[in-house]
């Protein structure tokens, strides 16, 4: 699944999760302070990757890469991240 977010700098990012678990951590239309958003994504994407590992025998590198991109994008951005929706 994908989730779309708008960063404090106004940029839009389409993020990937191999599991619907992200719906338990993020709510469309809700804004989260950047550190909270990163922590929520970290938790959700770790669980998603663990689910892939349990099913296929290896962790999801796409989830890991997505988290890296989120952490890099968050660096130095004050404010809140808006979750625009899920796809």
Q: Please write the tens of the pLDDT for every residue from 41-78.
A: 999 999 999 988 888 998 889 999 999 999 999 998 99
**Domain ranges (residues) in the chain:** 2-86
Q: Please write the tens of the pLDDT for every residue from 1-40.
A: 999 999 999 999 999 999 999 999 999 999 999 999 999 9
Inform me whether the pLDDT recorded for 87 exceeds 90.
yes
Rounded CA separation 17/67 (Å): 9
How far from chain centre, in Å, is Cα 16?
7
């Amino acid at each position: 699944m994908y989730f779309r977010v708008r960063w404090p700098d106004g940029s839009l990012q389409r993020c990937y999760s191999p599991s619907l678990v992200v719906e338990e951590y993020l709510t469309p239309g809700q804004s989260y302070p950047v550190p909270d958003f990163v922590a929520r994504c970290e938790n959700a994407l770790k669980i998603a990757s663990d689910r892939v590992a349990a099913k296929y025998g290896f962790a999801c590198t796409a989830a890991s890469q997505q988290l890296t991109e989120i952490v890099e994008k968050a660096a130095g951005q004050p404010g809140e991240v808006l979750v625009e929706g899920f796809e």
